[in-house]
Amino acid sequence: MFGKKAQPPIKSLIAHGTRIEGHLHFTEGLRIDGEVIGDVRARSDEPSMLVISEAAVVQGEIHADHVIVNGTVRGPVHARELLELQPKAQIAGDVTYRALEMHQGAVIAGQLQPLALGEGDEKPLLKLAANNS
């Protein structure tokens, strides 16, 4: 599973106050603090991580290995490995994942769909994060 491998480094940042209109392709790690109107895609041939912070808004499809959301996404999310939904995550769209971690307060307005299992894979992991209050 993804947690056993080294996490790819975050090498790119879309800062708060920045708005990008158009499709975005990245390698390794990307953090979004601003707004993206368009699809956000990581290369599928190497490990990737996408972080969508509390203030961020993404309107479009998301494709990456490890996706961490604490902001707003309007569109489908495809996490090839792990999808982490932090307490302020708001997703309006369908979600596909291999493993899902969802904190109390996160909201998904769409369908949850685990990725098809390959030979030798275990059942998809669904982990509910403990309430720390």
Q: Tens of pLDDT along 41-50? A: 999 999 999 9
Phi/psi for 124 (5° steps) reads -60, 145
**Number of C-beta neighbours around residue 91 at 10 A:** 24
Q: Cα separation of 24 and 126, whole Å?
A: 29
33 contacts 13 by C-beta, under 8 angstroms: yes
Which pair of tokens denotes residue 97?
């994942």
Which pair of tokens denotes residue 78?
């495809």
Model confidence band, residue 58 (pLDDT cutoffs 50, 70, 90): very high
Of 62, 67, 66, 63, nearest in space to 92 by CA: 62
- The pLDDT score that the predictor gives to residue 116 is 75
Q: Cα separation of 31 and 51, whole Å?
A: 5
Model confidence band, residue 118 (pLDDT cutoffs 50, 70, 90): low
Q: What is the mean pLDDT of residues 3-26?
A: 88
Which pair of tokens denotes residue 41?
């895609």
